[in-house]
Structure 1
Amino acid sequence: MDLRLAVYHAAREGKLRLLQKLLGGRSAAERGEATSGAGAGVGPPLLIAARHGHRAVVDYLLEQCGARVGEGGPVSFDGETIEGAPPLWAASAAGHLPVVRTLLEHGACVNQTTRTNSTPLRAACFDGHLDVVRYLVGECGADLEVANRHGHTCLMIACYKGHADIARYLLARGADVGRRSLKGNTALHDCAESGSLEILKLLLDAQARMEKDGYGMTPLLAASVTGHTNIVEYLVEGALQQEEDEEEDEPAAEGKKDPSTAGLSSSSSSGQPQVYCTREAAVEALELLGATFVDKKRDLLGALKHWRRAMALRHQGGHDLAKPEPQQLVLAYDYSREVSSMEELDSLVTDPDEMRMQALLIRERILGPSHPDTSYYIRYRGAVYADSGNFERCINLWKYALEMQQGNLEPLSPMTASSFLSFAELFSYVLQDRSKGTLATQLGFSDLMGVLGKGVREVERALLHRKDPIADSVQFTKALAIILHLVFLLEKVECSPEQEHLKRQTIYRLLKCNPRGKNGFTPLHMAVDKETTTVGRYPVGKFPSLHVVNLLLECGADPDSRDYDNNTPLHVAARNNCPLVMSALMEAGAHMDATNAFKQTAYELLDEKFLPKAMMQPFNYVTLQCLAARALDRHKIPYKGFIPEELEAFIELH
């Protein structure tokens, strides 16, 4: 075994004697090389020893072997690999205080970060190691306000993880309770999402404010979305009590305070609950909490309880807070509208399906279409309908969610890609079930074509904002693969001549964009590649697909297009040993003798084990012009500037 690997494993297991045996007789230079992580394929031995709390090994590596105390590397926590983690970070994250002390005594930087800008203090806060936090801050002066790449501070992560003792300590040491992350959330948002009422009270006592984040969410709404009833009840209690007090003490008269702004005060008289939200905010929080009970907790009676409280508060004291009228009723919601009276609300008891539509309507109104939860729960409800065989309701809901995502999210976002993939998998499942006489007969050309058109539109949107073709290749590859699967599935449904024209027109739009996936693959490259088959968890189309290849060629795909290694689709088809596809490409004008960046022709890439080369006759497709072009290149005859540009490109193809 390589010495560095042997040292690494000994450090991991805490075997000091083995380490001494491996390194004791070595020179200082050899020990230094053996304790470095460079080129070993693993992190430095000091890092792994610190991660597992082997203090004696840490001391030996630092004092006898000259290990670098700040050398970082990859380290695993809870199944996740942290890149660029210093030994001090690993020891702090694991809660090994003796090792933390040793590393700092040997010169470790207390604020050294990982690649994601996480400090040792943040690591200790994440896993709840109060003793490490006290030592790093109290004795070593660790900076409480260094935020990670997302802008999350140590106080935020302690609140999110529910570590009340650490949050209390950080606040006592002066942590900034008002800091915002890159998305605008504060520690109060994180606390509301975790459900810790104890920490919430600590933050409010420290003058934390009920601010909105980048999605317009207050901590109160964040608690409603996550279903933390205790947080919601505590925050709305003051507003509810103030409303009751105003009813008792103030007659309905001119000049009475606007009920929609009741509860804005953050101070309270003796014995009265402190007010943290307006009456309107309390109503929305209770309504949203009810929606969470419907979709997340599947508790319809619990939802009705919260909706009744919200409805009572809307109409309390004769000063109604009316719901806004919808601009239009939505097919996906079965044209439902929100209930506006207690009588209408009580009637929902006998109609669970209508309750579920109410939850979607409420969430869209309060959170808005740009919030991820809005489209997520629309898709979730659609999936539930699909599981029960109601594909029409599922498709309508998913289409609505997809339109919402395309109108509000960045192009090719993971959520939008997930929606397209869900459609492809659903359509494949439904079409496979047609022969069994199920409801699959309801699926038609317009359903598939509608999603295909939106897929091409997504690619067009993305290309308008594309900054780095190579960095974006993963997203484009997935998007193009899903589009090709939808084209594959369209073959299974009947269509009129007009619909066939629309399909080809849409495919032409895609090809005109010249989108590129992995390694510069065009849609035609991907259509002849077997790896395109695997697009999700469930089977959809099968590639290489002769039907898809022919359709792309008929719509104008270039049979001699090149990827970044100068492979044509014919090269890819040859690697996949697909003679029918190769024949189709050559009939469309692909050059069998075209060479890639490695001077290989498609014929040379054929695997004799699967496809005897005798089955392919390359000379049947080689013209005199091809032979002349290869001769010019082979004999290094200068031609640039002496012949037309289109002939130069033809020669370079060979």
Structure 2
Amino acid sequence: MDLHTAVYNAAHDGKLQLLQKLLAGRGREELDELLGEVAGGGTPLWPSKQAARSGVELVRVVRLTEAPRRSRLRTTRTNSTPLRAACFDSHLDVVRYLVGEHKADLEVANRHGHTCLMISCYKGHREIARYLLERGAQVNRRSAKGNTALHDCAESGSLEILQLLLGCHARMERDGYGMTPLLAASVTGHTNIVEYLIQEQPGHGHLSGAELPGEGSPQGARSGRSTPEEAEPHESCCPTSREAAVEALELLGATYVDKKRDLLGALKHWRRAMELRHQGGDYLPKPEPQQLVLAYDYSREVTTPEELEALITDPDEMRMQALLIRERILGPSHPDTSYYIRYRGAVYADSGNFERCIRLWKYALDMQQSNLEPLSPMTASSFLSFAELFSYVLQDRSAKGNLGMQLGFPDLMGVLSKGVREVERALQLPKEPGDSAQFTKAIAIILHLLYLLEKVECTPSQEHLKHQTVYRLLKCAPRGKNGFTPLHMAVDKETTNVGRYRVGIFPSLHVVRVLLDCGADPDSRDFDNNTPLHIAAQNNCPAIMDALIEAGAHMDATNAFKKTAYELLDAKLLAKSTVQPFNYVTLQCLAARALDRNKVPYKGFIPEELEAFIQLH
């Protein structure tokens, strides 16, 4: 272990005597180097949970006053700081020391735009939040996605911190998803926050009449005071409109259905929302849906108290109501909307109702592809879930025969087509897909779906549709890790490892043949100049090598290390192999290798097609 790592580990574990020994007698430049980043971007100045009991002593030991400021307040590669780490892990003494004695910047945000105040609110660290507010932290600062500390507080469920923020003139603003802190509390199921924020709904007083949790009731008039100790809890909060209160209660009820699994609790909140919609004879109507949705069994939202009370006899209908409410209020772009549709589908799958699951998941996938960026983690997760579900259903059908679910070609083909569409969307972006691992995974899932399609019967016209879709994939020339084409991936055993559960097994001769039939280039190269034949040889697959050679792959093509595929075959397989390279070497191939081996200048003297042929060898 090098000295740099030893210093970090000693600080991380709170071993103060060892840390003192490691740092003793070192100059300013050496201290600056030792207090710099280690793998992962942290520094020894980052207080850890293990070192919490050491507090300020830990920070003093690393000689903040002797080390240059660059080390004292260094940021990581994600732009986090020691102060933010102290806020995250609730080290109030360290926060006071860094801010009070070393003037640490409260407003340095990480790469997501989250400040120290935001993280202390999200983690529910009230005293740190109070201290930061006292020191002038910007209460209405926004993150990259538009949320404020009030949103973070609402999501964490800390009513006391919420009151501190409101007392410092925190504003009820919408984030990038259009969410207010009130809706954020509803989505996360923090009833105390929802109750507190809607209790002054104008003209109607407190909506339930029940005693609220927290530190007292609002005092009404603004006092003008801004410090958290002096401010009245509710003085800066604009009264909640009736419509906002209704939506908050309806969304809270949906959260009770899907997250808390409390149907009676959901009915209670929906009753209050219904009463408020009809209150004073001024009815607040729900917007009419553009169309009824098959995935929801063509359900529509209830609009009368009688319809609402009838839900108690139909729990499944209540669950559909929760999905309808969430989609109406949050909209299709909010991650929770598609997440809970997928969650409900998974519940149906667990009970054996695969058809209902597939309908819901397809609806969620359409929603994600229409509203999220290409290859978003949620969309990628949906594709993988489909592949795993289809694999399970096909195995289940094989075990049960006619008693199992009859998974058909349209189910698989529909998702395969959407997968190819996702790759096309990603490649249409102005720049290359940023996450190569995610892009590789998307191609791998498509190959797994192709693998599964072999297991279902299809008509000649369906077979033609499958080939058209694969041709679309090949036409956009996607490249995965190390420049792998889909054909490279089809002959690579690593393609098998796409998720937690096994779907297809690779290398796959069937998938290779489908790709070749649709025009995949058997001599395509990865970044190491390997052809699919090289990868097949590395994975010891003579049968697949035969198929590639029959499709025109050059047996004597060399990679960046001047190796042919034949030379990469395992010695035992080589002895048994029926592949004889000389049977596939032409006089043209020998001439190309001779030119390259003897370093004969040819560029510019021969046609470009011949140059490419020589470079292949």
Same fold? TM cut 0.5: yes
Given that residues 122 and 156 in structure 2 are in contact (C-alpha distance below 8 angstroms), is that contact kept between their aligned partners in structure 1? yes
Q: Deviations over 1:25-44 (max 9, x none)?
A: xxxxxxxxxx4x3xxxxx2x
For structure 1, the residue ranges without an aligned partner over 5 or more in a row are 9-34, 38-42, 76-81, 247-264
Change (3 A) 1:384 1:606: same
**Residue among 439, 443, 452 paired with 1:476:** 439
Aligned counterpart for 2:417 among listed residues 418, 430, 453: 453
Matched, 1:88 2:63: no
SS state at 2:41 partner = strand
Where do 1:221-300 residues align within 5 Å? 221-239=183-201, 242-243=203-204, 267=221, 276-300=239-263
Partner of 1:567: 530
Structure 1 residues 565 and 305: CA distance shift in structure 2, 3 A:
same
Alignment of 1:535-550 (within 5 A): 535-550=498-513
Deviations, residues 117-176 of structure 1 (Å, cap 9, x unaligned): 112211111111111112222232222111111111111111111011111111112111
CA contact (8 A) 1:92 1:121 kept: no
CA drift at 1:639? 2.1
2:162 to 192, 200, 203: 200
* AA matched with 1:54: K
1:312 corresponds to which of 265, 275, 297:
275
Residue deviations 1:580-607, cap 9 Å, x none?
Answer: 1000000000011000010000000000
2:483 maps to 1:520: yes
Asked whether 1:409 is paired with 2:372, we answer yes
CA distance in 2, matches of 1:356, 1:216: 24
The 1:563–1:445 alpha-carbon spacing in structure 2 relative to 1, beyond 3 Å, is same
Q: Specify the alignment match of 1:384 in structure 2.
A: 347
Alignment match of 1:61 (pick from 11, 22, 26): 22
1: CA distance, partners of 2:234 / 2:495: 65
How far residue 56 of structure 1 moved from its aligned partner, in angstroms, is 3.1
Q: Residues 288 and 362 of structure 1 are in contact (CA less than 8 Å); yes or no, is this contact kept in structure 2?
A: yes
CA distance in 1, matches of 2:407, 2:572: 42
Q: Residues 217-238 of structure 1, C-alpha deviation per residue, up to 9 Å, x if partnerless?
A: 0101110011001100111111
Task: Report which stretch shifted further, 346-355 or 102-111.
Answer: 102-111
Q: Which residue of 1 aligns with 2:553?
A: 590
SS in structure 2 opposite 1:243? coil
Task: Call closer, same or farther: CA 1:505–1:266 in 2, change over 3 Å.
Answer: farther
Alignment-derived partner of residue 58 in structure 2: 99
- 2:316 aligned with 1:342, yes or no? no
Contact 1:92–1:100 (Cα < 8 Å) also in 2: no
Cα deviation for residue 613 of structure 1 reads 5.5
Asked whether the equivalents of residues 47 and 86 of structure 2 are also in contact (C-alpha less than 8 Å), the reply is no
Q: Is the 8 A contact 1:189 1:219 kept in 2?
A: yes
More off after superposition, 204-213 vs 632-641: 632-641
**Superposition deviation, residue 451 in structure 1:** 0.4
Deviation at 1:621, TM superposition (A): 1.3
Judged with a 3 Å threshold, the aligned counterparts in structure 2 of structure 1 residues 383 and 585 are, in CA distance, closer, same or farther, namely: same
> 1:94, CA displacement in angstroms?
3.8
Offset of residue 72 of structure 1: 4.5
Q: Deviations over 1:616-648 (max 9, x none)?
A: 211111112111211221222222223221111
Match of 1:621 in 2: 584
Alpha-carbon shift at residue 387 of structure 1 (Å)? 0.8
Query: Does residue 183 of structure 1 match 2:145?
Result: yes
Q: TM-score by structure 1 length?
A: 0.86
Cα deviation per residue 1:432-489 (whole Å; 9 max; x = unaligned)?
11121366443101000000000000000000116246x5321221011000010111
**Cα 1:158–1:582 shift into 2, 3 Å:** same
Mapped contact 2:199–2:205 kept (Cα < 8 A): no
RMSD: 2.2
1:145 to 107, 116, 120: 107
Shift of 1:324: 0.2
The residue type paired with residue 561 of structure 2 is: F
Which residue pairs with 2:215 in the alignment?
Answer: none
Contact 1:392/1:442, CA 8 A, preserved across alignment: no
> Which amino acid in 2 is paired with 1:607?
D
Gaps of 5+ in 2: 208-218, 224-231
* In 2, Cα distance between equivalents of 1:479 and 1:607: 30
SS at match of 1:87: coil
- What amino acid maps onto 2:113 in structure 1? G
Q: Which moved more, 1:83-92 or 1:528-537?
A: 83-92
Q: How many residues align?
A: 589
Identity of aligned residues (%): 75
Alpha-carbon distance in structure 2 between the residues aligned to 1:134 and 1:271: 24
Is 1:168–2:130 an aligned residue pair? yes
Does structure 2 retain, via aligned residues, the 8 Å contact 1:484–1:527? yes
Contact 1:595 1:601 survives alignment (8 Å): yes
Change (3 A) 1:319 1:99: same
CA distance in 1: counterparts of 2:220 and 2:172, whole angstroms:
10
1:326 aligned to 2:289? Answer: yes
Report deviation, 1:608: 1.4
Post-superposition offset of 1:565: 0.6
| CA deviation after TM superposition for structure 1 residue 108, in Å | 4.9
Letter in 2 for 1:160: Y
Q: Which has the higher contact order (CA 8 A, sep 6+)?
A: 2
Selected match of 1:211 from 167, 173, 193: 173
Show CA shifts across 1:338-374 (max 9, x none): 1111111000000000000000000001101000000
